[in-house]
Amino acid sequence: MYNKEIETLPLDKLRKLQNERLTNLVERVYTKVPFYKKQFDEAGLKTSDIKGVLDLHKIPFTKKTDLRDNYPFDMFAVPMDDVVRIHASSGTTGRPTVVGYNSHDLGVFDEVVARSLVAGGATSKMKMHNAYGYGLFTGGLGIHSGATKLGMAVVPISGGMTERQLMLLQDFQPEVICCTPSYAQTLGEEMQKRGITHDDINLKYAILGAEPWTEAIRTQVEGLLNVTATNIYGLSEIIGPGVSQEDYEEKGTGSYIWEDHFYPEIVDRDTGEPLPYGKEGVLVFTTLTKEALPIMRYWTNDICSIDYDSGAKRTHIKMSSIKGRSDDMLIIRGVNLFHTQVEALLEGMEHLAPCYQLIVTREGTMDRVKLNIEITKELQDNIDGDLANNDTIKNLTGKLSKKIKDNIGLSMKVELMACDTIPRSAGGKLSRIVDCRELG
């Protein structure tokens, strides 16, 4: 499924394709989606005002609240008779966001997932262990269908049941695993506890997503599972997993956005103004080819940057790793804080495992944040007695506290914890932040 022609299309031809698809999209949503007709009319926009992607900034943003306000199906641009699959968010903060696909959309979904898997190292001759959740969440079925399109043999294990997962990794010998980064950590740690070695499994590639992660997590996962680990990115409102993917031979240089289908922008989180390449802001997407639920200028809340990489395999633009979500950003005593900033500082720090939580509390009118982080098993095995009174622990605590202060500008209490004391992923997304302010 490596589409060399489209993935290496010269930028001028790619832009021409995007412009054609965008003008068709604008006409379609204006006539078929009342929300967008109202949006255009209230902004004083005509469809003829949008001649290409350089005019996108004229169009208002679409936000998650808009999908919830039009629950369940009022954002759809095709009759319900044409819809062949429906997914939805969990709805834990209100009405779920509902997304739908017609047959054409599922073809696009399969294409971009298969394209992503190939970039991550997979081939049609491999088996995939798919530990993403199946159901209303787009991850499990989306990855499964794209892998089938590629020709892989898929093991649809879903999330959880870690004991069974480890058994099948040994018995079925898949070369590729797909799951969240935090669950890959869990599987690797459980392998160590059970004495399962790299020789007992056959994994070569881990394609991980659904939550922000850093090089510290990559290093740990690659060591635990003996794999090359890459990032897959997506969100259900745009299509699901497969919006962008990191190449296994270009790790750390960003993830390709398949911009023949999804046009990206970076905008200022406060003003919404477009930002130039290389600048960090909120990621915004316009779906160029979706039919059932086309979305224009969707405000993802994800913080990153985008830029072209002239030395890369493909001509499509790359996005940096996700720093965090703008709505999840903590502001502690005037300092903006994402948990990934702390995680990034753990890289190269001996004796510390990338298993941590930030605990946020309020004392009077003052917000405070504490970092709980585990030490490695090797260090723990060499410590007698109470961790708090050990000189090595005290030195590590002071070193990490200073590193956080020097790099983030925030004084933060640090507590080093024993192994296996911080919650692990059971297959789903893992919360790195525990906000106790609302509980008090």
Q: What share of the chain is helix, strand, coil (3-state, %, to 5)?
A: 35, 25, 40
Asked if 25 contacts 294 with a C-beta cutoff of 8 angstroms, the reply is yes
Asked if 143 contacts 115 with a C-beta cutoff of 8 angstroms, the reply is no
Asked if 410 contacts 387 with a C-beta cutoff of 8 angstroms, the reply is no
Strands in 95-222 per DSSP E = 98-101, 127-130, 153-155, 176-179, 205-209
For residue 265, which of 322, 301, 305 has the smallest C-alpha distance? Answer: 305
Beta carbons within 10 angstroms of residue 65's beta carbon: 12
Q: How high is the pLDDT of residue 440? A: 45
Q: How high is the pLDDT of residue 400? A: 93
Distance (Å, rounded) from C-alpha 17 to C-alpha 258?
Answer: 13
Phi, psi of 308 (to 5 degrees): -90, 145
Q: Which sign, positive or negative, has the C-alpha torsion 132, 305, 215, 421?
A: negative
Asked if 367 contacts 332 with a C-beta cutoff of 8 angstroms, the reply is yes
Q: How high is the pLDDT of residue 156? A: 98
For residue 139, which of 214, 208, 63 has the smallest C-alpha distance? Answer: 208
Q: Report the 3 state secondary structure along 47-91.
A: HHHCCCHHHHHHCCCECHHHHHHCCCCCCCCCCHHHCCEEEECCC
DSSP assigned state of 361: E
Look up residue 76 and give its two tokens.
């759809």
User: 92 in helix, strand or coil?
Assistant: coil
Q: Mind listing the domains of the chain with CATH numbers?
A: 1-323 (3.40.50.12780), 330-435 (3.30.300.30)
Q: Which sign, positive or negative, has the C-alpha torsion 164, 134, 120, 145?
A: positive
Q: Which sign, positive or negative, has the C-alpha torsion 398, 401, 405, 410?
A: negative
Q: What is the block-wise mean pLDDT of the chain (440 residues), using blocks of 10 residues?
A: 88 98 98 98 98 98 95 98 92 76 98 98 98 93 98 96 97 97 94 97 97 90 98 97 98 97 97 97 98 98 96 96 79 76 85 90 80 91 82 91 89 90 82 72
Q: How far does CA 241 lie from the centroid of its chain?
A: 8
pTM exceeding 0.95: no
For residue 101, which of 295, 232, 260 has the smallest C-alpha distance? Answer: 295
Beta carbons within 10 angstroms of residue 7's beta carbon: 18
H/E stretch holding 152: none
Distance (Å, rounded) from C-alpha 230 to C-alpha 62?
Answer: 29
User: 45 in helix, strand or coil?
Assistant: coil
H/E stretch holding 8: none
H/E stretch holding 103: helix 103-119
